[in-house]
Structure 1
Amino acid sequence: MEQFSGRTLVVWNSQAGGARSEAAQVVLNAFRLYELATIVEADEQSLEAALGELGDSLDNVVVAGGDGTLHHVLNTLRPWLDRIRLAVLPIGTGNDFCRSLGMPLDPVAAYEAIAAGNVRRIDLAEVESPDSRRLFINVANGGNSNRVSECMTDEMKSRWGAWCYLRGAIDVLTDLQGFETTLLLDDGPAETYSAWNVIVANGRTAAGGAEVAPQADLEDGLLDTIIVLDQPSPYDLAALMAEFFLGNYLADERVVFRRARSVELRMSPESNFMVDGEVVGGQPLRFRVLPGALQVYVGPEYSRPVEPE
């Protein structure tokens, strides 16, 4: 390694979808040769033991896995987040946060991008339910998109890879459900909508590369909230999906787009939220941004979004 330096903890999820690929093994062997690196499995016990021994001396933490692995590591790392630099190696199923970081999705190319040492300070987010409080880094979604995520199995992920999200959607599209949603932004007045889907985003993509929050900015100190309104007919849904694939669905009248530092949500019927791939339930759900809370290695394609004219 050239510009990347310092005491490093590599958290390796050997169960991730791409962990056994030739490219991933090349990267793993490269870290084994780096004398300041300690490599541990991504299970909670191994990670906590390593942090107990090394936490105060760490300069970098490299997370090799998918978005779910990253979510768990971030929450375990919380006491050290103000002093470490985080790197992400894409060996999971969706690898969505890597896309927001402008990282190549090939593990060897991502390793080389990390070695280049380009570090930015970005926002984190936090979600609080009646019985839990967790950090997240990418996207939280509820409503029908959460139903898609909940119906996916490990076998489906293994067989379909990133396409599993599309495969899961097929089972839900025949039975779409509306959710009466009450939204409070920055303690402002309540807004109520009949929603098909609700997204609270720090990063831009979910479901293996779908740009669900194309204007989300990791450095603006705000969360993007997107409400896809309940569609009265299959034609409306098809038209909205066309706008989505053309990249301009946020301007559609069937979509509500807001930015705020904090978001409070209630939905009826109650919907779990999928937060970086992990289920969070209960009401109300409160989201807030933590501006500039994390130093992270970014790739050569990293950029802040350009606002549409």
Structure 2
Amino acid sequence: MRKRARIIYNPTSGRETMRQHLVDILPIYEQAGYETSAFATTAAPNSAKNEARRAAEEGFDLIVAAGGDGTLNEVVNGIAPLKHRPTMAIIPAGTTNDYARALRIPRDDPIAAARLILHKNKDFKIDIGQAGDNYFMNIAAGGTLTELTYDVPSDMKLLFGYLAYLEKGAELLPKIKPVEVNVKYDGQEYEGKMSTIFLALTNSVGGFEQIVPDAAFDDGNFTMIIVKESSLTGMLQLMAKALRGTHRDDPRIIYTKAKDVEITPLNKDDRLMINLDGEYGGDAPMKFHDLRQHLNVIANVDEIPDDALTDLSPDMKRAEDDFVRGVNELPKTENK
């Protein structure tokens, strides 16, 4: 029986990019051996999530998430809880496309992104994060800085991209208020003030690749960062160090690996919203678990750095010089 693929696309994402290219994308998956159909998401809640679940339960072999990080997160949430989980492909068409950046999927060329299905070394198993009843594939975060993603209007994100986030971040810095928390992680515990926490599954956080440079897609662990600092000067110093990748030993943060994490605010009047892949995912207290190698995903495997994958078969060797790390534009002098 011929394999089946379902493209779930956001018709309004990225200036209607997918709508324009769909006629050229469908034959690519047909060429790869899939009987291919498409579904346009609607404004109804969980439109992409519900369609992904339906297609998986009907036995589809491949689900293509075509849109921004929000569409991708919904597709993941549709298939992650199921016993039969189709292989997932990604065609970026949003504003930031963090996960596509980490997988080295072309972000400005939907046709090139689709054509990855034709590559020889094209897929591998990735970790998925579980947060309560929700799932995420890139990052979970909580704290004042992460709240800026809720406040940037969608039209502003479309027009100005990262500049919108940077402007809002600069506005929020003076308003950072630390929260007293208890964080349990793999038999260890932190109790004290926290301004921000990140649980990362990839090395791309907001488009920056030096914040969690040692993140691996498939090792069964989050890279966890707890930021204890909350002063304006201290936060600016930490942000500069993070963009250079020199922050991991700073005493103002905890930087470690963890499979299971539980976050609990200690003051009942403190609200700690949790952001999952850029979307609101509920309030702490919340438990997080890394589901090791839970989904099979199509990616640009040949260009992913070796240390980001821990369980590839021997025939999937890649040249390290194909991977060019993000350019560091900040001065090399340390801020102390």
TM-score, normalised with respect to structure 1: 0.86
**Could you tell me how far 1:127 is from its partner in structure 2?**
0.1
Aligned with 2:212: secondary structure? Answer: coil
Question: CA offsets, 1:107-139, max 9 Å, x none?
Answer: 2332222331511011111001xxxx1111110
Q: Would you say 1:224 and 2:223 are equivalent positions?
A: yes
Query: Does the 8 Å contact 2:208/2:243 carry over to 1?
Result: no
Give 2:127's aligned residue: 123
Distance change >3 Å, CA 53–CA 109, structure 1 → 2:
closer
Distance change >3 Å, CA 231–CA 56, structure 1 → 2:
same
Give 1:11's aligned residue: 8
Give 1:147's aligned residue: 147
Give 1:77's aligned residue: 79
2:65 is aligned, of 63, 66, 70, to: 63
Query: Does the 8 Å contact 1:11/1:47 carry over to 2?
Result: no
Distance change >3 Å, CA 14–CA 212, structure 1 → 2:
farther
**Which structure 2 residues correspond to residues 31-70 of structure 1 after superposition, within 5 A?**
31-33=25-27, 34-35=29-30, 36-43=35-42, 44-45=46-47, 48=50, 52=54, 55-70=57-72
Query: Does the 8 Å contact 2:51/2:78 carry over to 1?
Result: no
**Could you tell me how far 1:161 is from its partner in structure 2?**
2.1
For 1:292, the aligned partner's letter is Q
Aligned with 2:168: secondary structure? Answer: helix
Give 1:201's aligned residue: 200
* Structure 1 runs of 4+ with >6 Å offset: none
Q: Would you say 1:276 and 2:273 are equivalent positions?
A: no
**Could you tell me how far 1:64 is from its partner in structure 2?**
0.6
Q: Which has the higher contact order (CA 8 A, sep 6+)?
A: 1
Aligned with 1:7: secondary structure? Answer: strand
Query: Does the 8 Å contact 1:199/1:225 carry over to 2?
Result: yes
Give 1:86's aligned residue: 88
Give 2:106's aligned residue: 104
2:241 is aligned, of 228, 232, 243, to: 243
State the alpha-carbon separation in 2 of the partners of residues 53 and 239 from structure 1. Answer: 47
Distance change >3 Å, CA 161–CA 18, structure 1 → 2:
farther
Query: Does the 8 Å contact 2:176/2:230 carry over to 1?
Result: no
**Which structure 2 residues correspond to residues 177-196 of structure 1 after superposition, within 5 A?**
177-186=177-186, 188-196=187-195
**Could you tell me how far 1:74 is from its partner in structure 2?**
1.3
In the alignment, structure 1 segments of 5+ residues that lack a partner are none
**Could you tell me how far 1:79 is from its partner in structure 2?**
5.2
**Could you tell me how far 1:167 is from its partner in structure 2?**
2.3
Query: Does the 8 Å contact 1:147/1:172 carry over to 2?
Result: no
TM-score, normalised with respect to structure 2: 0.79
State the alpha-carbon separation in 2 of the partners of residues 115 and 143 from structure 1. Answer: 41
Query: Does the 8 Å contact 1:201/1:213 carry over to 2?
Result: yes
State the alpha-carbon separation in 1 of the partners of residues 211 and 5 from structure 2. Answer: 33
Query: Does the 8 Å contact 2:226/2:253 carry over to 1?
Result: yes
Query: Does the 8 Å contact 1:198/1:228 carry over to 2?
Result: yes
Query: Does the 8 Å contact 2:73/2:136 carry over to 1?
Result: yes
Question: CA offsets, 1:6-30, max 9 Å, x none?
Answer: 311101111212533xxx4564222
Give 2:303's aligned residue: 301
For 2:129, the aligned partner's letter is A
Question: How many residues are aligned here?
Answer: 294
Aligned with 1:194: secondary structure? Answer: strand
Give 1:156's aligned residue: 156
Distance change >3 Å, CA 105–CA 115, structure 1 → 2:
same
Q: Percent identity of the aligned residues?
A: 27
Question: CA offsets, 1:134-154, max 9 Å, x none?
Answer: 111110111122221121111
Aligned with 2:24: secondary structure? Answer: helix
